[in-house]
Chain A
């Protein structure tokens, strides 16, 4: 599985593009990093790839996943996982049910699904917390639960939007190692947006600086 971006650019309405066309290939198990100043449209780029653009934005260029252009598909059909700054666990569901929500439909039967969730909780160091209210978890626990929920959906690629920026320094490197290890284990391509050069360094993958591209006038 390879994620290839070809001549991607984004614009709001009739305004000038947010950045010059971007071309980038991310191989399976590889983590590419997008950096750049605030407001240049890094998060919007991830929204465009994932299919979550706000009304008014348009994406031009091609987004190839396993060689197929997915730019026209609705978000839910793209099978691209997303990780945010905040864990965005659903507050009305227990920790385990949040993971069950993510777990792919291919795992069938109540017992098998429950076992898959329990195993994922174990992997994330959350054993025995199936029935816990997500609001009572620590920041690190929440982040790990969110990653597991994303991975259980068996995504074909992963987008990370400043995933570690809200964690404190000690937790950050631990969570970084945990996340990257799982991406390599699953052997899926990942694209990360970050402000932290240390994040980019830890990936060992390609780094794109959107700010260094010659930007035509008028950012949104």
Chain B
């Protein structure tokens, strides 16, 4: 074994130790503590006896069955619909849209935090929002209609909100998977055998795409089944979805409620796991049916109308998302806005005018948390990837699964337990605890964003540098990292966006003492003052945008005289 690979082994061992200690152990520890509390053991509140009482208490909670059903219908519904739309849209526009332009179209939706988007959507669809105002002259309304559009008891607004956020994510994931498949050749081959475009997508392209997007789809599913912030803002309120109900129990004044809440958190975890099993079972079934269908050789079905519908609905979702973001800004600046005018009568900066009392502090805290958690995640990701390079070995499947782990376990299932762990080691309630908890979710996204560009880097560059006498560290800092500046900054921007969007980790680990734009915006969303809410939500959405803009502008400035690094070549 030569020195370089031994170095790589050491680096990899170090990275693995850090990942295990900083990410895997906290999740397992959190699950363990939640599990113990779910069965009656939480010494901190004097509960020490193992029992099923928390489960009995949970089962007799008013509305629990409805909550469970709502979680399932909104989570499964949003995921299935998002996947259908994303696949249909890709099939319809693939080849007519460059990766670059699609990336530019999707970025704003990926950057926007869930809570800000949900608040904007609530503004948009409420009876006093733009949609009702635009319809007013047509429908002959002279006052806002008495309709329940947000927080509807079926969770439709929540499904819509989740879809506005998840469809762009799935589009990105599918487009990236498609770049690994010779789509054009397969499409041509399939059509020359008599199959229509839509059918070739279903029978040929999707079976190849699915294994590449299975994990991200599971992430979407786990998220949608257990989402808290969006469900608080858009979801039904009485009874709410399971995750929201658990949050209420966890933060109830009566601390004994923590026990049934923990049982519910376990239930949430098990529910998500069962849905994963369901996906894998569906995949098996799909394979059998698909093969039977392919062997029959049927060409008759035309999928074109479906593709058109998916394209139209996807565009509609994006339009809703854009209007939602715009309405945040407009409300924050509105002063007099009589119904049904489309724009305010008079504008005012008054809601923005008192930073000292409110948003400036939350903004500072949010920035500090975002920078710290992103920096930690970025360093760990670079160390991981460099370790792979030096050890000259590809990533094992279990390592890939390890990266996705924090995104597959529902947050509410382990974060309370993690708080118990942090309390025990004296971390709870401080900035460090929140940074740590946020980094659990920032790291996977940073790692995923950086992996492909890192692997696409021309390996000859480092080899040439080596042959010129540069050691491994100089190769890393003087060659690889500068060349990878664009993807590094993009990954950092994604990290900032993920950190800014975190609600539950900030709430639980901060013990209510750390206020970020997100926690404030979610709290304010149920208040009646749309101007103040608009300010917080605009800032919350603005921060990730600023990060993306920086990630776009800094390389353009630094590499202005380096043509090979200015375009997509570097990304």
> Which A residues have a C-beta under 8 Å from some C-beta of B?
47, 50-52, 54-55, 74-77, 79-82, 84, 86, 88, 90-93, 97, 100-105, 107, 110, 113-114, 149-150, 153, 155, 159
Contact = CB atoms under 8 A, between A and B. Distances in A.
Interface stretch (B27-35, B193-201, B339-347, B453-461): B193-201
A97 B295 CA distance: 6
B185 A86 contact: yes
Q: Please name the 7 residue pairs, one residue from A and one from B, whose CB atoms are nearest each other, closest first.
A: A82-B192, A75-B191, A92-B207, A88-B189, A153-B193, A100-B295, A52-B188
A81 B95 contact: no
Contact of A82 (B95, B188, B207): B188
Nearest to B95: A55
A155 to B, nearest CB: 8
16 contacts: A50-B188, A50-B192, A52-B188, A76-B194, A76-B197, A79-B194, A81-B192, A88-B182, A90-B204, A92-B207, A101-B190, A101-B297, A110-B295, A113-B295, A150-B193, A155-B192
Nearest to A105: B297
Nearest to A146: B189
Nearest to B208: A92
A91 B193 contact: no
B104 interface: no
B294 A52 contact: no
B179 to A, nearest CB: 16
A76 B188 contact: no
B298 interface: yes
Contacts of A107: 297
A113 B95 contact: no
Given A55-B95, A88-B182, A92-B208, A82 B189 contact: yes
Contact of A149 (B191, B193, B195): B193
A78 B435 CA distance: 61
Contacts of A74: 191, 196-197
Contacts of B188: 47, 50, 52, 75, 82, 84, 88
Nearest to A81: B192
B193 A101 contact: yes
B110 to A, nearest CB: 26
B475 interface: no
B191 A100 contact: no
Contact of A75 (B186, B192, B208, B295): B192
Contacts of B196: 74, 76
Contacts of B291: 97
B300 interface: yes
Nearest to A51: B191
A52 B207 CA distance: 22
Q: Which of A74, A76, A84, A114 has the most CB of B within 10 A?
A: A76
B296 interface: yes
Interface of B: 95-96, 182, 185-186, 188-197, 203-204, 207-208, 291, 294-300
Given A52-B188, A54-B95, A103 B297 contact: yes
A77 B291 CA distance: 23
B295 A105 contact: no
Given A55-B95, A82-B188, A88-B186, A76 B297 contact: no
A104 B207 contact: no
B95 A93 contact: no
Nearest to B290: A92
A104 B297 contact: yes
A79 B192 CA distance: 7
A91 to B, nearest CB: 7
Given A93-B294, A105-B299, 18 more contacts: A50-B192, A55-B96, A76-B192, A81-B192, A81-B193, A82-B189, A84-B185, A90-B186, A92-B208, A97-B294, A101-B294, A105-B194, A105-B297, A105-B298, A110-B295, A113-B297, A155-B192, A159-B192
A174 B525 CA distance: 74
Contact of B208 (A91, A100, A105): A91
Contacts of A105: 194, 296-300
B189 A153 contact: no
B294 A76 contact: no
A213 to B, nearest CB: 26
Contacts of B96: 55
Contacts of B186: 88, 90
Contacts of A159: 192
Contact of A101 (B182, B203, B208, B300): B203
B211 to A, nearest CB: 9
Contacts of B192: 50, 52, 75-76, 80-82, 150, 153, 155, 159
A82 B187 CA distance: 12
Contacts of A51: 191
A52 B390 CA distance: 45
Contacts of B296: 105, 113
A159 B189 CA distance: 11
A149 B297 CA distance: 12
Nearest to B204: A90
B195 A76 contact: yes
Q: Which of B186, B190, B192, B291 has the most CB of A within 10 A?
A: B192
Contacts of B297: 100-105, 107, 113
Contacts of B185: 84, 86, 88
B524 to A, nearest CB: 47
Nearest to A80: B192
Contacts of B298: 105
B496 to A, nearest CB: 36
Contacts of B204: 90, 92, 101
B206 to A, nearest CB: 9
Contacts of B300: 105
A52 B182 contact: no
A82 B185 CA distance: 11
Contacts of B208: 90-92
Nearest to B188: A52
A209 to B, nearest CB: 25
B95 A153 contact: no
B28 to A, nearest CB: 36
A153 B194 CA distance: 7
B456 to A, nearest CB: 22
